[in-house]
Amino acid sequence: ISQFFSRLTERFVNGVDILMDTFWRIWTDLLDVLGIDASNLTHYFSPAAIANNPTRALLLIGAILLAYWFLSLFLGFFFYLLHMLFGRFFWIARVALFTLSCVYILQKYEGDPEHAVLPLCFVVAVYFMTGPVGFYWRRNSNSSLEEKMDHLDSQIRLLNIRLSRVIESLDRGSD
């Protein structure tokens, strides 16, 4: 059983590596189209390079904002799809993805646990952002005030009907 799970986690890690490599290639191609050399990104973060070429800093900020936008768009669509597929059991999908992500990171950085801290913090942040404080849970609560008032009005009518039935049954019981 131990050998089965070790092979299974190894195949899972290899599959995620291939997926991440594909995303990285797409991202580097997009950066190349924008005129940013993706092979030497650390050069763009040095203060001397930004001071010498302010347009490069603007391009870097634009690339970072574009990356954030693509990531939020992808995660939003992915978790919306999961929420639609699983419905009330979305929490199971969240826990499974969180567990698989942690297994991937811990397996990937098995020999160097200090480098696993930042990816684990990112995974925990995504886990909490998709929880009850996230966009997916708050979306249904954005109904208008009129709809909420109509709902409360119907609830009050139902309570009044039930109360009148209880009072009538008590009156009949006392007669």
Tokens 């005129």 — which residue?
35
Q: What is the pLDDT along the chain (175 residues), one digit of tens a residue?
A: 888 888 888 888 888 889 889 988 888 888 788 777 777 766 666 777 777 777 777 777 887 888 888 887 887 788 788 888 888 787 888 888 888 888 888 888 888 888 888 888 888 887 877 666 555 455 555 567 777 788 888 889 988 998 899 888 888 877 7
- Encode burial over 42-64: b for 16+ CB neighbours within 10 A, e otherwise: eebeeeeebeeeeebbebbeebe
Instruction: Answer whether 0.85 is exceeded by the pTM.
Output: no
Entry field: residues in the chain: 175
**SS3 state of residue 121:** helix
Give residue limits of the domains in the chain: 1-133, 134-174
Q: By the 8 A CB rule, do 34 and 59 touch?
A: yes
56 CA to centre of own chain: 31
The dihedral built from the CA positions of residue 20, 91, 127 and 123, taken in this order, carries a sign that is: negative
